[in-house]
Copies of this chain bind each other. A is one copy, B any other.
Amino acid sequence: MLTLKDLAAAVGVSPSAVSLVLNDRYAGRVNEKTAQRIKQAATDMGYVPNLLARGLRTRRTQTLGLISHGVASVPFASRMLEGVQVAAWEAGYLAMLIDTTNRAEIAELSSKSLLQRDVEALIVAAWYHRVVETPAVPLSMPLVVLDGIAPEGVQADGVVPDEVGGALAAVRHLIDAGHRRIAFCNVADQRFIARTLRQRGYEAALNEAGIEIDPSLIVAAPEPSTVAAVPVMRALLDRSDRPTAVFCFSDQSAFAAYQVAASLGLEVPDDLSIVGFDDQQFIADALVPGLTTVRLPHYEMGVWAARRAIDRLQGKVDGPRDLYLTPCPLVIRGSVSPPR
Contact = CB atoms under 8 A, between A and B. Distances in A.
Nearest to A278: B282
A77 interface: yes
A227 B55 contact: no
Interface stretch (A108-116, A168-176, A201-209, A238-246): A108-116
A262 interface: yes
Contact of A72 (B73, B81, B114, B225): B81
Nearest to A1: B115
A53 interface: yes
Given A73-B82, A286-B225, A97 B99 contact: no
Interface residues of A, number: 56
A200 interface: no
A196 interface: no
Contact of A94 (B53, B86, B117, B280): B117
B99 A85 contact: yes
Interface stretch (A15-23, A32-40, A44-52, A148-156): A44-52
Given A52-B61, A74-B78, A89-B98, 9 more contacts: A52-B55, A75-B76, A85-B98, A94-B98, A96-B96, A226-B282, A227-B286, A255-B282, A256-B286
